[in-house]
């Protein structure tokens, strides 16, 4: 098998992958030991990439109005309709909504088409939901969207502060690098600032369970403390920055008691953090969506950067503020200017000289003259009819944007919606008039940039199935049909990359941070062979150090860094009617709206249904018990979620995962709950601070089913589907009882071969239907949360059941004598459950290493090591089901 060097398509760590395709079509992957981001490591999601490369649920042909169409017909219609909308209503009547999943080359041509040839900057991206506040904070402080440091800095630091970042689950390989560094240098300290005690707390010496949006108060207090204790680097501040006095005045007082009150923390913890930060030279502050997804996100970013500028701890080994991006190519999108308020190559759309420069370079006939509509504004303009034609690429705004029901209604009312996607089954594509089949990971060729500015190649190793095309080729075909063929006559992504690199260097005498001119004139084969490389990379000699700002040299007019005076108090959103704060985030084994990761049976086993984490005191107040179904309601909508009662959750706050959609659950689209409220500077929605209330859904019956075939049209109030090795597993609940025999007959496709257990008085029922030795499905119903060994029951779909006793065992829902209930899967690589780990712990294997030796758990991708540690520490119940 020939291995192809490529890059993982999930998070912003940007791990190198060696991928190959066997003769039977199966895909296998392993970490690339030579890639400098991961050195051979992969997390659970990356390790399971092979399971997600199948053609199930792929869009393979263009469609117009639900019927199959030719490419020519579909592209002509897109170009004609966009052209007509522009001619009749002006360029701002059309828009593109892209994605951090796009490759840089895809992004580049989409941005060029809109900003240089359509004449509108109405091109925004789901990266607006991810890191727009980091971009805005960087630009305010540095004059450019520059990430100063490298991953290595996390390993070299003596103190790593993680703010609003569940690194263990959201950037797992970077977390593993940090955990390994801490293990080899026990003196290193890690502080976690997060309202939740996430799995990242496993390596934290101090966890500050901050109140929602309390970050500005904390870092302002820190700035004041640094000034009071003489920790400010006066020479650096004087030589390389402006605005220190104003920022310090705005920061207020440093008294730990006051800061603690404002940030919802204990004064002793605040004092300990301040002393640690002030007394440690090598400090890296990592921040991600917990900081960015806020109505004061940009201020939070600047409050953090202020502390690093004040101490001069920036751009040197082991020091600096560090934004880690959520998506695989959020950085590449920023580089090409794929945000409505950017131009291209880190140039500013509001800068007339920059617009003229780019117009010269592109030979653009119709440059956009002002910033376009940011994501939330863009869909508002779709709703009120200002946008007549919209093209959505590789993303699912019906699920991910705030006020998601309004977004769906806007698409339903929009005269012309184009969706190009690899998946045929998303909540967004069902609203499309035109569906364009796009190439998926494994079929795509181009580049991505990770969080440390490292450009890596994504290389195709699978043939394009059906009629799919790469996104860049689709955009170029539409551009050609709109009359711009000469400017979009690229024969390959390599040609696009060369132009992108040349633009970065065009009239750039060191005034712009983004310069990869050294990659503009690669020799033949150079693009194909391109090894992972960090920018800046100007033509000529490469800089000795790829960190920024150790000696100043910011990208402002006077080349000085800017302190930004921020005084943002945490917004007060809760009311007596909506007294709880809802926070959202990722879980370990799923990615975004699950169009890919949910294809993997093993990734689907870790957390198989949408849930809400709630503190025991709140659960009691809301009348919620463990495994109940909760109704979570905001003024914008309602969702139904399984209850997980845990002290990891801060009182008065709830946590829900962001991933579930209408494709896999009855009512779990969290975007429905969030108001369309954004940060005034960055336009990023405040997805982590939503006022809600919670109550028990009055379920009269709970059920669990394993099914060989995917059920369609489930008519229960609550349901959630997840793949398992032999089919599907399904949780359900409903307010009223049913004729369970009829329910089972419908769900299992008939009653021949059915075994039944009915306890009408107790409200319990069990069914298992067989075809020969094969289990077609089993259903377990009870008046309360069903006690069934779920993993074992799911395995029975792939097992053989030769005799009646084996079949009756399925009806029991438990392994028989001699079998053991593994409990919920923790280690997906080796299928090890929580009960097995707890049992091994009780048997004396009391460390993660010892569990690995006994069970192999945690010895492959390592993503579950923090959970193993938590189980051993008694923090996680043996069976969370």
45: left (phi over 0), alpha (psi -120 to 50) or beta: alpha
Which pair of tokens denotes residue 284?
């890296």
Stretches 10-18, 143-151, 255-263, 503-511: which one binds ligand SF4 (CB under 6 A)?
A: 10-18
Among 10, 117, 461, 535, binds ligand SF4 (CB under 6 A): 10
Q: Which two tokens stand for residue 65?
A: 């109005």
Between residue 43 and residue 72, which ones bind ligand SF4 under the rule CB under 6 A? 43, 45-46
3-state secondary structure of 263: helix
Strands 27-31 and 16-21: antiparallel
What's the CA gap between 247 and 288, in Å, rounded?
Answer: 23
Q: Are 125 and 97 in contact (CB under 8 A)?
A: yes
Q: Compute the least distance from the CB of residue 824 to ligand SF4, in Å.
A: 21
Q: Which is nearer to ligand SF4, 789 or 863 (CB)?
A: 863
DSSP string computed for 859-870: SSS-TTHHHHHH
Minimum distance from residue 8 beta carbon to ligand SF4 (Å): 3
Residue 541 DSSP SS3: coil
Judged by CB under 6 A, does residue 448 bind ligand SF4? no
- Min dist CB 104 to ligand SF4, Å, is 16
CB of 613 to ligand SF4, least distance (A): 22
Given a contact cutoff of 8 angstroms between Cβ atoms, the answer to whether 47 and 40 are in contact is no
CB of 44 to ligand SF4, least distance (A): 7
CB of 601 to ligand SF4, least distance (A): 18
Output the smallest distance, CB 171 to ligand SF4, in A: 6
Residues in contact with ligand SF4, shown as a per-residue x/- string from 636 to 655 under the rule CB under 6 A:
--------------------
- Supply the DSSP symbol for 665: B
Using DSSP bridges, classify how beta strands 454-458 and 159-163 pair: parallel, antiparallel or unpaired.
Answer: unpaired
Closest distance of CB 327 from ligand SF4, Å: 10
Based on its alpha-carbon atoms, the radius of gyration of the chain, rounded to whole angstroms, reads: 27
Nearer to ligand SF4, 17 or 419 (CB): 17
Q: Could you count the other beta carbons within 10 Å of the beta carbon of residue 25?
A: 10
Between 42 and 826, name the residue whose CB sits nearer to ligand SF4: 42
> Of residues 332-361, which lie at the interface with ligand SF4 (CB under 6 A)?
none
* C-beta of residue 58 within 8 angstroms of C-beta of residue 422: yes
Strands 580-585 and 690-696: antiparallel
In the block, tokens 């190519």 appear at: 329
| Residue 766 contacts residue 813 (beta carbons within 8 Å) | yes
For ligand SF4, give the closer residue by CB, 241 or 458.
Answer: 458
Is residue 876 involved in binding ligand SF4 (CB under 6 A)?
A: no
Choose between 174 and 404: whose C-beta lies nearer to ligand SF4. 174
Cα 733 to Cα 702: distance, rounded to the nearest angstrom: 4
Nearer to ligand SF4, 46 or 494 (CB): 46
Beta carbon nearer to ligand SF4, 290 or 328:
328
x/- track of binding to ligand SF4 for residues 403-442 (CB under 6 A) = ----------------------------------------
Find all residues with CB under 8 Å of 15, minimum gap 6, and list them. 7, 8, 31, 32, 35, 37, 38, 41, 42, 43, 46, 173
15 touches ligand SF4 (CB under 6 A): yes
Give the footprint of ligand SF4 on residues 26-45 (CB under 6 A): 38, 42-43, 45
Q: Is 14 in the site for ligand SF4 (CB under 6 A)?
A: yes
Angle at 9 between CA 338 and CA 319, to 5 degrees: 75
Task: Count how many Cα atoms sit within 13 Å of the Cα of residue 31 in the half-sphere of its side chain.
Answer: 22
Closest CA to 276 of 151, 153, 180, 158: 158
Instruction: State the DSSP H helix or E strand holding residue 323, giving kind and residue range, or none if neither.
Output: strand 320-323
Among the listed residues 6, 11, 383, 851, the single contact to ligand SF4 using CB under 6 A: 11
Piece of the chain touching ligand SF4 by CB under 6 A; list 8-16, 251-259, 506-514, 660-668: 8-16
Q: How far apart are the C-alpha atoms of 484 and 471, rounded to whole Å?
A: 17
Q: Are 825 and 857 in contact (CB under 8 A)?
A: no
Q: CB of 174: closest distance to ligand SF4 in angstroms?
A: 7
**Pick 31 or 517: Cβ nearer ligand SF4:** 31
- 201 in the Ramachandran plot: left (φ > 0), alpha (ψ -120 to 50) or beta? alpha
Of 4, 8, 721, 807, the residue at the interface with ligand SF4 (CB under 6 A) is 8
**Closer to ligand SF4 by Cβ: residue 604 or 835:** 604
Measuring CA to CA, which residue among 310, 238, 316, 256 is closest to residue 284? 316
Nearer to ligand SF4 among residue 170 and residue 643 (C-beta): 170
- Least Å distance, CB 303 to ligand SF4, is 27
CB of 47 to ligand SF4, least distance (A): 7
Under the binding rule (CB under 6 A), the answer on residue 585 touching ligand SF4 is no
Minimum CB separation of residue 589 from ligand SF4 in Å reads: 10
Residues numbered 157 to 186 that lie near ligand SF4 (CB under 6 A) are 171-173
Rounded Cα distance between 769 and 519, Å, is: 62
Q: Where are the alpha helices (DSSP H) in 367-492?
A: 375-383, 397-400, 404-413, 471-479
Identify which range of 5-13, 408-416, 437-445, 842-850 contacts ligand SF4 by CB under 6 A.
5-13
- Return the residue nearest ligand SF4 (CB atom): 46
Task: Give how far Cα 626 sits from Cα of 7, 612, 699, 881, Å.
Answer: 40, 10, 13, 9
Number of residues that bind ligand SF4 (CB under 6 A): 14
Binding footprint of ligand SF4 on the chain (CB under 6 A): 8, 10-11, 13-15, 38, 42-43, 45-46, 171-173
């Amino acid at each position: 098998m020939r291995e192809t060097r490529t890059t993982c398509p999930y998070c912003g760590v940007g791990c190198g992958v060696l991928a190959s395709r066997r003769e039977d079509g199966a895909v296998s992957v392993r970490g690339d030991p030579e890639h400098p981001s991961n050195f051979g490591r992969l997390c659970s999601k990356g390790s399971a990439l092979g399971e997600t490369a199948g053609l199930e649920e792929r869009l393979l042909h263009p469609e117009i109005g639900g019927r199959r169409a030719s490419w020519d017909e579909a592209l002509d219609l897109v170009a004609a309709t966009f052209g007509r909308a522009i001619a009749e209503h002006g360029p701002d009547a059309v828009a593109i909504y892209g994605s951090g999943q796009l490759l840089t080359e895809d992004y580049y041509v989409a941005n060029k088409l809109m900003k240089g040839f359509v004449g509108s900057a109405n091109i925004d991206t789901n990266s607006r939901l991810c890191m727009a506040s980091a971009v805005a904070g960087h630009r305010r402080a540095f004059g450019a969207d520059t990430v100063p440091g490298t991953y290595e800095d996390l390993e070299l630091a003596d103190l790593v502060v993680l703010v609003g970042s569940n690194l263990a689950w959201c950037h797992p390989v970077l977390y593993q690098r940090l955990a390994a560094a801490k293990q080899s240098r026990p003196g290193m300290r890690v502080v976690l600032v997060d309202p939740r005690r996430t799995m990242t707390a496993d390596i934290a010496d101090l966890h500050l369970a901050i109140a929602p949006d309390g970050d500005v108060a904390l870092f302002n207090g820190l700035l004041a403390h640094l000034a009071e204790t003489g920790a400010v680097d006066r020479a650096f501040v004087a030589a390389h920055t402006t605005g220190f006095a104003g920022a310090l005045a705005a920061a207020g007082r440093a008294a730990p008691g006051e800061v603690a009150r404002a940030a919802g923390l204990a004064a002793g913890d605040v004092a300990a953090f301040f002393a640690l930060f002030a007394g440690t030279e090598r400090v890296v502050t990592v921040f991600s969506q917990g900081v960015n997804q806020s109505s004061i996100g940009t201020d939070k970013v600047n409050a953090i950067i202020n502390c690093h500028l004040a101490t001069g701890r920036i751009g040197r080994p082991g020091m600096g503020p560090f934004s880690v991006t959520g998506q695989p190519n959020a950085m590449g999108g920023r580089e090409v200017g794929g945000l409505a308020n950017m131009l291209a190559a880190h140039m500013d759309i509001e800068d007339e000289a920059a617009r003229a420069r780019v117009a010269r370079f592109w030979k653009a006939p119709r440059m956009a003259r002002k910033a376009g509509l940011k994501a939330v504004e863009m869909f508002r303009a779709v709703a009120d009819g200002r946008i007549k034609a919209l093209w959505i690429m590789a993303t699912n705004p019906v699920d991910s944007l705030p006020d998601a029901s309004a977004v769906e209604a806007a698409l339903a009312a929009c005269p012309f919606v184009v969706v190009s996607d690899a998946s045929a089954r998303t909540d967004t594509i069902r609203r499309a008039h035109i569906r364009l089949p796009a190439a998926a990971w494994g079929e795509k060729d181009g580049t991505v940039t990770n969080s440390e500015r490292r450009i890596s190649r994504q290389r195709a190793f699978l043939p394009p199935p059906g009629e799919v095309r790469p996104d860049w080729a689709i955009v170029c075909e539409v551009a050609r049909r709109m009359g711009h063929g000469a400017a979009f006559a690229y024969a390959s992504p390599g040609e696009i990359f060369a132009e992108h690199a040349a633009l970065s260097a065009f009239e750039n005498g060191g005034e712009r941070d983004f310069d990869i001119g050294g990659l503009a004139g690669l020799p033949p084969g150079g693009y194909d062979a391109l090894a992972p490389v960090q920018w800046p990379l100007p033509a000529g000699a490469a800089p000795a150090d790829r960190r920024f700002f150790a000696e100043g040299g910011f990208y402002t007019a006077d080349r000085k860094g800017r302190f930004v005076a921020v005084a943002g108090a945490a917004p007060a959103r809760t009311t007596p009617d909506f007294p709880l704060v809802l926070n959202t985030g990722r879980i370990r084994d799923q990615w975004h709206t699950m169009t890919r990761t949910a294809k993997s049976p093993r990734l689907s086993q870790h957390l198989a249904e949408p849930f809400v984490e709630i503190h025991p005191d709140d659960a009691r107040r809301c009348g919620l018990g463990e495994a109940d179904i909760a109704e979570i309601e905001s003024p914008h909508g309602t969702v139904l979620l399984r209850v997980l009662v845990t002290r990891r959750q801060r009182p008065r706050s709830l946590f829900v995962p962001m991933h579930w959609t209408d494709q896999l659950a009855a009512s779990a689209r969290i975007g429905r709950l969030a108001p369309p409220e954004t940060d005034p500077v960055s336009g990023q929605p405040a997805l982590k601070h939503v006022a809600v209330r919670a109550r028990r859904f009055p379920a009269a019956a709970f059920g669990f089913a394993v099914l060989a075939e995917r059920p369609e049209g489930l008519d229960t109030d609550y349901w959630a589907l997840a793949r398992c090795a032999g089919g599907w597993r399904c949780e359900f609940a409903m307010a009223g009882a049913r004729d369970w025999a009829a329910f089972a007959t419908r769900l299992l496709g008939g009653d021949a071969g059915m075994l039944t257990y009915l306890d009408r008085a107790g409200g319990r029922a069990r069914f298992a239907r067989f075809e020969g030795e094969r289990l077609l499905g089993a259903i377990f119903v009870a008046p309360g949360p069903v006690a069934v060994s779920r993993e074992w029951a799911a395995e029975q779909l792939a097992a053989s059941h030769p005799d009646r006793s084996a079949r009756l065992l399925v009806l029991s829902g438990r392994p028989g004598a001699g079998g053991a209930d593994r409990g919920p899967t923790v280690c997906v690589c080796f299928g090890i459950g929580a009960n097995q780990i707890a049992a091994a712990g009780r048997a004396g294997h009391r460390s993660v290493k010892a569990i690995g030796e006994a069970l192999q758990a945690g010895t492959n991708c390592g993503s579950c090591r923090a959970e193993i540690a938590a189980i051993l520490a008694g923090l996680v119940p043996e069976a969370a089901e």
